[in-house]
Amino acid sequence: MNPLAQQLNDTIQRDNPNIHAMLSRLGRQIYFPKEGILSQSAEAGSKAKQFNATIGIATEGGIPMHLDVIQETLSAYNPKDIYPYAPPAGKPELRKLWKEKMLKENPSLADKHTSMPIATNALTHGLSIVADLFAEEGDVVIMPDKNWENYELTFSIRRGAEMVYYPLYDDNWMFNSAGLREALFAHRDKGKAIVVLNFPNNPTGYTPGREEGQAIVKAILEAAEAGMRLVVVTDDAYFGLFFEDSMHESLFSSLASLHPNVLPVKVDGATKEEYVWGFRVGFITYAAESEALLAALEQKTMGIIRATISSGPHPSQTFILRALQSPEFEAQKQEKYRIMKARANKVKALLDSGKYGDVWSYYPFNSGYFMCLKLNTVPAEQLRTHLLDAYGVGTIALGDTDLRVAFSCIEEADLEKLFDTIYQGVLDISQ
Ligand SMILES: Cc1ncc(COP(=O)(O)O)c(C=O)c1O
């Protein structure tokens, strides 16, 4: 074992042996090299006043070398904020502002101990860091049966973990925290589980209410008290897009300081919140009682980043930083929120109007980008292909009965036509 990795492990073991026990083999072995190229050039950055011949970028006239064909389209930006490598953990000012934003949007985090957010190559990368650090062959990853399909690649195919699903809704169409509890206790013998919570949920657009949120936390607490070590990941990809009276905070706040057997990890980012899907800017944030432990987890996270992508994209981080600093940011975001909310409301009004009879019902939704129809009379995949071929309408079929509709990319004025067409598609097939 590398001595730096050993040091980090010793700190984690000392401050919370349960978290040490959650680490995967890779999680134990990884470390961020302190004496490598990055740290030597960081040292040179402050001390090498005559010549700095350290890191692998090129400079000219004291600024990063660059091509005019690139810079002429980016002239609002200083070359130093675009071309050099971003630090492996992300631009410090961006990390600071993201944390401030997180605290403002999640007021109950105020008295909790959390790390600085570490920048990732968007949320998928944050999730894969969690998988690298904590998922081992045979570990269980527990999540609702309606989930983002990529979790399976990230946790199971890539890291060998076993996926365990429970029904998302209970008989009253509320979040099935009893199902979560059952899934946890069914794997109590393993002594460890990774729990993924994703609200607003992809694909259903569901966020639980406050009491449902408390029931989720209670189920997790009970499993922790029964001796299970739990890495609980909140995938907050669609955070903030809450259109009704659901929870408006991430469960990360309630999970922080819950129990020494619970390691809350928040994965979030600008992708969906700031409508910058291709920018690839996300964050991973840990909650734990000890600063030294948080610092060790940060070092291990930076180790994975260094080993996989080395560092995230600098231009995108600069773009997001500038947006967060802009006085117009809040107002512009609010304007887009209103558009998304109006679309969600319109979808609900259409579905509740009775005009589509009982060919389908819909899963409760109140947030995010999507909603899901539950088809009563025709198979989802057959309807999907028919809608594409006959009407040029694209939807996502999930399982036998579910059709996901992304109202996020349909103008409000077009929603009625969209659902009328889906309805017509059902009638065509039923004949
Ligand atoms: C629930 C959920 N998590 C994570 C992601 C991935 O986000 P990113 O594009 O930032 O990697 C998505 C994207 O569809 C998602 O729906």
Tell whether 310 and 349 lie within a shared domain. Answer: no
For residue 223, what are the contacts with CB-CB under 8 A and spacing of at least 6? 181, 184, 185, 188, 193, 230
Nearest CA to ligand 1 atom 16: 202
Q: Which atom of ligand 1 is nearest to the CA of 201?
A: 1
Quote the domain boundaries for residue 262: 3-32+88-325
Nearest CA to ligand 1 atom 3: 237
224 Cα: distance to centroid of ligand 1 (angstroms): 28
237 Cα: distance to centroid of ligand 1 (angstroms): 6
- 144: domain CATH number is 3.40.640.10
Distance CA 67, CA 73 (A): 11
For the chain, the domain total comes to 2
Q: Which atom of ligand 1 is nearest to the CA of 272?
A: 10
88 prior amide bond cis, ω within 30: no
17 Cα: distance to centroid of ligand 1 (angstroms): 31
CA distances (Å), origin 39, targets 20, 54, 87, 124, 297: 26, 10, 11, 27, 18
Q: Is residue 365 domain-resident?
A: yes
Q: Which amino acid is at 181?
A: R
pLDDT confidence tier of residue 36, bands split at 50, 70 and 90: confident
Give residue 133's pLDDT: 98
Task: State the average pLDDT for the chain.
Answer: 96
Distance CA 32, CA 41 (A): 15
Q: Is residue 307 domain-resident?
A: yes
Q: Is residue 72 domain-resident?
A: no
Tell whether 215 and 294 lie within a shared domain. Answer: yes
Distance CA 289, CA 303 (A): 22
Give residue 46's pLDDT: 80
Give residue 400's pLDDT: 96
Mean pLDDT across the stretch 385-390? 98
Tell whether 413 and 302 lie within a shared domain. Answer: no
Give residue 409's pLDDT: 96
Tell whether 317 and 340 lie within a shared domain. Answer: no
Q: Is residue 40 domain-resident?
A: no
Q: Spell out which residues line ligand 1, taking CB within 6 angstroms.
A: 122-124, 148, 198, 202, 235, 237, 269, 271, 277, 282
Q: Which atom of ligand 1 is nearest to the CA of 198?
A: 1
Give residue 417's pLDDT: 97
Question: What's the pLDDT tens digit per position in 114-160?
Answer: 999 999 999 999 999 999 999 999 999 999 999 999 999 999 999 99
Q: Is residue 17 domain-resident?
A: yes
For residue 255, what are the contacts with CB-CB under 8 A and spacing of at least 6? 217, 220, 232, 234, 262, 264, 287
- 420: domain CATH number is 3.90.1150.10
Q: Which of 263, 208, 306, 228 is nearest to 12 (CA)?
A: 263
Nearest CA to ligand 1 atom 8: 123
Tell whether 379 and 411 lie within a shared domain. Answer: yes
Q: Which residue blocks in 31-174 are alpha helix, DSSP H? A: 37-47, 68-71, 92-105, 122-134, 150-151
Question: What's the pLDDT tens digit per position in 330-362?
Answer: 999 999 999 999 999 999 999 999 999 899 999
Cβ-based neighbour number of residue 345 at 10 Å: 15
User: Of all residues in the chain, what percent are helix, strand and coil, respectively (each to 5)?
Assistant: 50, 15, 35
Q: Which atom of ligand 1 is nearest to the CA of 369?
A: 16
Give the containing element (helix H, strand E) for 375: strand 370-375
Angle between helices 329-352 and 314-325 in degrees, nearest 10 = 90
